[in-house]
Structure 1
Amino acid sequence: MDSVVQLQRQLADYTTSLYNEFTQLQQLQDESNPEFVVEVVSLFFEDSERLLNEVTTALDQQSVDFTKVDAHVHQLKGSSSSIGAQRVQKLCIFFRNYCEDHNIEECLKCLQQVRIEYTLVKNKLQTLFKLEQQILAAGGSIPTR
């Protein structure tokens, strides 16, 4: 049982390191829908990867449709905000400004930064979910959020 306590402590420390808004998302989960957070975050992963691919494709065109790029970045900004990925959200604000200026060079730089931050968020959240699964598999319970 010591391993469960250690995992629970590790989970609590890890959760604290995540963004504040993600904690708010976790508070919406209850016993009636125990998979709520995992489902929402999984949808975020799918949607974000689709949007990032669409932005990449749009920026690779001979004639870039900045309105289209901006629309995709706006969607990514909103979904990032909803799960608490503040760094991704803030980068999307800059990205949208570069779209407005039709600045392809800065848009490409922003896309790279957004991809890096998105990957960091994804890795952190996947680690969080793995820790929770380990605790449950060891017979423990997930500490109250």
Structure 2
Amino acid sequence: MNGVSQMQRQLAEYTSTLFEEGFLDDQFYQLQQLQDESNPEFVVEVVTLFFEDAERLLSELAKALGQENIDFKRVDAHVRQLKGSSSSIGAQRVQKVCIAFRNYCEEKNVEGCLKSLQEIKQECSLVKSKFEILFKVRIVFIFFFLFTLSVQSVY
């Protein structure tokens, strides 16, 4: 089981790194606590739904900011929704950019909004790649664990 322990430690270390680098906050731990044997893919499903929703919202934001007469209330509503959903999965860096974005909406600052939109796109892309790595490492760990169990049962 030494290999399993080592892989488990690597998974925990990678997750800790995501917290240290500010990608995730404690809400992600709370999300993990909701996962159980009856729904072992709960976290993956919730995070996947977040990114699908984020993609839609980013498209809506780009469209709204491309209008000649920008409806800042509508833009703010999209940003507020993105902030809430990013908060629900613990995507801390996305949340922080959303806060700045909302301030620019309040000021009706087009340049600030456009800059924030690019920052949110970048942060969403970064955190998505971090989640993909995390989930792939988790899958490798599960397969390794199951393989180790099957080998032990043979001997």
Quick check: TM above 0.5? yes
Partner of 2:143: 137
Q: Secondary structure at the match of 2:36?
A: coil
Are residues 1:27 and 2:30 paired? Answer: no
Give CA-to-partner distance per residue, 1:27-52, whole Å, 9 cap, x none.
Answer: 11111211110110010010011101
Partners of 1:5 and 1:112 in 2: CA distance: 40
Partners of 2:28 and 2:108 in 1: CA distance: 33
Question: Partner amino acid for 2:11?
Answer: L
When Rg is computed on C-alpha atoms for both structures, the one with the higher figure is 2
Q: Secondary structure at the match of 2:95?
A: helix
The two structures have a TM-score, normalised by structure 1, of 0.90
Are residues 1:62 and 2:62 paired? Answer: no
Q: 1:20-99 residue pairs with structure 2 within 5 A?
A: 20-99=26-105
Instruction: Quote the offset at 1:140 in angstroms.
Output: 4.6
Partners of 2:104 and 2:84 in 1: CA distance: 17
Are residues 1:101 and 2:107 paired? Answer: yes
Instruction: Quote the offset at 1:5 in angstroms.
Output: 3.6
Instruction: Quote the offset at 1:90 in angstroms.
Output: 1.5
Partners of 1:85 and 1:70 in 2: CA distance: 19
Give CA-to-partner distance per residue, 1:80-137, whole Å, 9 cap, x none.
Answer: 1111011111211111111111110000111111111111111111111000111112
Partners of 1:14 and 1:139 in 2: CA distance: 18
> Identity over the aligned pairs, expressed in percent?
63
Partners of 2:122 and 2:2 in 1: CA distance: 36
- Checking the alignment, whether the CA contact within 8 Å between 1:11 and 1:131 is kept in structure 2 is yes
Give the alignment's Cα RMSD to 1 decimal. Answer: 1.6
Q: Which of structure 1's runs of 4+ aligned residues deviate more than 6 A?
A: none
Instruction: Quote the offset at 1:23 in angstroms.
Output: 1.5
Question: Partner amino acid for 1:119?
Answer: S
Partners of 2:32 and 2:146 in 1: CA distance: 18
More helix by share: 2
- Checking the alignment, whether the CA contact within 8 Å between 1:4 and 1:140 is kept in structure 2 is no
